[in-house]
Amino acid sequence: TATVLARAMIREGAKNVAAGANGMLVRKGIELATEVVVEELRKQAVKVKDHEKIAQVAAISANDKAIGELIAEAMEKVGEEGVITVEDSKSFGTSLETVEGLQFDKGYLSPYIITNPDRMEAVLDDANILIVDGKIGNVKDMLPILEKIVQLAKPLLIIAEDVEGEALATLVVNKLRGILSVVAV
């Protein structure tokens, strides 16, 4: 429905501009109309909390009662603030998998920092998290943080655009020596 409405608004807006209307005014009108509609929808919205109603709404949306039940079950498990991801399965049937904590679809930056060689995965419990907006290449910038993490004796998860060169080498060496429990993604 939203896609059909958006396409119709764009089509009609383009018609108006082609007929001589000011494009900026048409755009502003679409934005104002959208705000009014969204506000009205918020006023009319009914919060659905119980399992039965969630399953009913989901079943109508998916056009499948079994999927509706599965979605309701997933919502019960993750709560209002949780995230639900729907994926195509490589096997037959429909299933629900719950992941505790945080899961990345990217991956670790070096095979030397995996924590479970059998499953080829890196899992940390109760880790400190360092988020860097950009690349990490110089270990000197990280040194005070790494020293503090070693003192705390807690694992460290580094989330960055990339960790490269001497910074990655330092993390790997300290991980292999058992000095630091670290995963960089």
What is the average per-residue pLDDT within 165-180? 88
Predicted confidence band at 138 (pLDDT cuts at 50, 70, 90)? Answer: confident
Q: What is the pLDDT of residues 97-129, one digit of tens each?
A: 887 776 666 677 888 888 888 888 888 888 899
Given a cut of 80, whether residue 78 has pLDDT beyond it is yes
pTM check: above 0.85: no
Any idea of the CA torsion for 96, 100, 106, 112, to the nearest 10 degrees? Answer: -130
What is the average per-residue pLDDT within 36-43? 94
CA distance 155 to 123: 10
What is the average per-residue pLDDT within 28-39? 93
pLDDT at site 100:
77
Q: Which fold has domain 111-184?
A: GroEL (3.50.7)
What is the average per-residue pLDDT within 175-183? 88
Tokens in use for 183? Answer: 């995963």
Q: Which of 49, 29, 37, 169 is nearest to 57 (CA)?
A: 49
With a pLDDT cut of 90, the percent of the chain lying above it is 32
CA distance 68 to 61: 8
Given a cut of 90, whether residue 28 has pLDDT beyond it is yes
> Which range (6-15, 63-72, 112-121) has the least confidence?
112-121
Residues 158, 136 contacting (CB under 8 angstroms): yes
Q: What does the domain layout of the chain look like in residue ranges?
A: 2-44, 111-184
